[in-house]
Amino acid sequence: MKKGLVTVLSAGILFGSAYQASASYEPGTKAQKLMVVEQNQSESPQLLVTQGSEKAPAFISGKISKKTYVTKKAIVTFLKENKHLFTFNPEKNLTFVKATKDQLGMTHYEFNQSISGVAVDNARLIVHTDKTGKITAINGDVLTNLPTTANTKKTLTEASAIQKAWKHLSLKPSKVAKPLAFKGATPKSLGEKAHVVMVKDGATYKVAYKVELQFIDPSPANWQIYVDAKNGNIISSHNAINEDGPTTGSGKGVLGDTKSLNTYLYQGSYYLLDATKPMGGDNDIETYTANNTQTLPGNYVTDTNNIFDSTTQAAAVDAHAYAGKVYDYYKNTFGRNSYDNKGASLISTVHVGTKWNNAVWNGQQMVYGDGDGKEFTYLSGALDVVAHELTHAVTEYTANLTYKNQSGALNESMSDIFGYFLDPSDWWIGEDVYTPGKAGDGLRNIQNPTLAGQPDNMSKYLNTTADDGGVHTNSGIPNKAAYLTITAVGKAKAEQIYYRALSTYMTASTNFSGARAALLSATADLYGNGGTEYNAVKSAWTSVGVN
């Protein structure tokens, strides 16, 4: 800016860099006139004025008035007395919306520009007063030269306008997936709504329905469609989804570690929803919170800046990240697309109940308690726990081992074994969340089941009717056989053997002897009958007393 211009303006009004002078809006003319009613111009009020796209001020701030204005009527009077500033009729073209008083004692009067009482789309004016009632700022999306009246009679119904909007997109509501915000609702709750506005079409303003259509399939959308309320013609339309879609965020887990997260941006909020996996359809990985209730699936876990680092989000961060790891493991290692091999969504809910010491697969989704802080902390905080529970889902859709007696113990053992395959840092299961503050222990130990009170040989088998026939106790025997197999043939070969046995040979009633036979058959398929691997599996089961 030239020095001479600065000197001239400093005597009257200071303009911000956003202000662009033009022939139709000269510096120091209309803005100065604002002060005629209120002040003597010799006082040289210091104002900042920013011009808007309509050749009218978009923002005026500073000592605008000496008088006080404490009602909406008084504000309208002020605008009327200074109507030369905005070139519209404040009495005819403004509709009061609300007045809000903030914690500083300031009051903010919000108006919609309107024609014949109908709001003009996206045309707001806000007048701000300090705690004494003096005007300190005026801003908004102001339109100039509005007609004071117009024919606002409608011949089209709201329902017809919505129907025409769908037709404009060549879509039917029944063919569109439920939107993120309404997931789980009935089909009637599709994201569609309409309200009447005045919208500029060429040189004239028309009464129209602003129809909003929101959905995530066949592609994420937040359509804003303007339908002429008289003849049903489409005036304009645009997809306001902007950057909505898959994003990458981060979060802190239960143990304080930072994890990368696949999230989803939807209308300004980031959701723990991973839509990046090759599941097919609109299936994905979704994480909810029950907020310490029994309600499932609960509420989506969301964040405003894509950094999920609050203590209340930690359990959800781990549940979400670990569900993704388990999906990737089964897909990359065995070619399995989710637990049902058809790309089913992986749903997790954290903060279920109060101090609940458990995590379960309930036949439809993952459910995690917070723990009581003594026996367990948040149970989603351990990768092998998440893998254990999701393997129950895989078992349900493969062998479907009956959860009772030996087949039930085998069901538990398979989950422990695949928990180890995903988290092979040690032989403990659940050590990251078990007895917080105490190191060197875990819920179960595959290498030495006796450390957690489990038998490691059929000679110690527990005959009981409790715990569905001791499924969480007797699982130590096949766990020990797995440890011996893994150490003999290596993790890579062992996981292929176990997955093939589970998905190809085991059935609902498979017992320990049947598991031995299934694993030997799988080994023979993969590595030959009678070879090193085959003999290792055979020796492992013989060592735990299963022949």
Identify the DSSP state of 16: P
Q: What is the mean pLDDT of the chain?
A: 85
Contact between 134 and 39 (Cβ < 8 Å): no
242-381 shares the fold of 158-239: no
Does residue 41 surpass a pLDDT of 50? no
Write down the domain spans for the chain: 3-140, 158-239, 242-381, 389-547
Check: CB of residue 112 under 8 Å from CB of residue 123: yes
pLDDT for res 250: 95
Q: Which distant-in-sequence residues (6+ apart) come within 8 Å of 102 by Cβ?
A: 108
Distance CA 171, CA 153 (A): 29
Q: Quickly count: other Cβ atoms within 10 Å of residue 174's Cβ.
A: 8
* Span 234-273, pLDDT tens digits: 999 888 765 668 999 999 999 999 999 999 988 778 999 9
Q: Which residue has the higher pLDDT, 237 or 5?
A: 237
Nearest to 375 by CA among 427, 428, 430: 430
Neighbours of 484 (CB within 10 A): 20
The percent of the chain in helix, strand and coil, each rounded to the nearest 5, is 30, 25, 40
Please determine, for residue 53, whether its predicted confidence score (pLDDT) is greater than 70: no
Closest CA to 431 of 418, 442, 440, 420: 442
Better pLDDT: 94 or 3: 94
What's the pLDDT at 283? Answer: 93
389-547 has CATH 1.10.390.10 classification: yes
User: Which secondary structure element, helix H or strand E, spans residue 384, and what is its range?
Assistant: helix 383-396
The helix or strand, by DSSP H or E, that contains position 196, with its residue range, turns out to be strand 191-201
How confident is residue 230, by pLDDT bands cut at 50, 70 and 90? very high
pLDDT at residue 140, as a whole number: 86
Catalytic residue selected from 128, 351, 392, 472:
472
Pairwise pLDDT comparison (109 vs 55), residue with the higher score: 109
DSSP helix/strand/coil, 497: helix
Q: In angstroms, rounded to a whole number, what is the distance separating the alpha carbons of residues 158 and 160?
A: 5
pLDDT at 242: 56
Could you read off the pLDDT of 430-462 as tens digits, one per residue? Answer: 999 999 989 999 999 999 999 999 999 999 999
Q: Please spell the DSSP secondary structure of 387-424, one letter per residue.
A: HHHHHHHHHHTTT---SSHHHHHHHHHHHHHHHHHH-T
Q: In a 3-state reduction of DSSP, which class is residue 249?
A: strand
**Per-residue model confidence (pLDDT) at position 541:** 97
Q: Would residue 238 show up in a list of annotated catalytic residues for this protein? A: no
% of the chain at pLDDT higher than 70 = 86
- The H or E element spanning position 109 is strand 107-115
- The most confident of the ranges 1-10, 130-139, 215-224, 455-464 is 455-464
Alpha carbon distances (Å) from 223 to 29, 62, 193, 266, 267: 42, 39, 11, 13, 12
CA 99/CA 118 separation, integer angstroms = 19
CATH number of 242-381: 3.10.170.10
| Count of beta carbons in the 10 Å neighbourhood of residue 138 | 25
DSSP 376: B
Average pLDDT over residues 329-356: 97
Confidence at residue 362, expressed as pLDDT on a 0 to 100 scale: 94
pLDDT at 345: 96
Q: What's the alpha-carbon Rg for the chain, to the nearest Å?
A: 34
| Banded pLDDT at 141 (limits 50, 70, 90) | confident
| Non-local CB neighbours of 119 within 8 Å, separated by 6+ positions | 95, 112, 113, 197, 198
d(CA 21, CA 469): 85
Residue 52: the pLDDT is 67
Which residue among 389, 412, 495, 533 is the active-site one?
A: 389
Q: What was the pLDDT predicted at 35? A: 33
> pLDDT-derived band of residue 191, with 50, 70 and 90 as boundaries?
low
Q: How confident is the model over 505-518, as pLDDT tens digits?
A: 999 999 999 999 99
Measured distance CA(380)–CA(358) in Å, rounded: 10
Q: Characterize the bridge pairing of strands 307-308 and 245-252.
A: parallel
| pLDDT over 60 (residue 77) | yes
What's the rounded mean pLDDT across residues 27-46? Answer: 38
Alpha-helical regions (H) of 281-351: 314-334
Map residue 386 onto helix, strand or coil.
Answer: helix
* pLDDT higher than 70, residue 280: yes
Q: Give dist(CA 315, CA 291) in Å, integer.
A: 11
The residue with greater pLDDT, 182 or 141, is: 141
CA quadruple 458, 461, 463, 465: dihedral positive or negative? Answer: negative
* Cβ burial, residue 103 (10 Å; 0-12/13-18/19+): exposed
For residue 51, list its beta bridge partners: 57
Is 472 one of the annotated active-site residues of the chain?
A: yes
- What would be the CATH architecture of the domain defined by 158-239? Roll (3.10)
Query: Does the structure show a pLDDT above 60 at 7?
Result: no
The structure tokens listed for 216 are 């995530």
11 secondary structure, DSSP code: T
Locus of tokens 């930072």: 258
Find the mean pLDDT for residues 360-378: 95
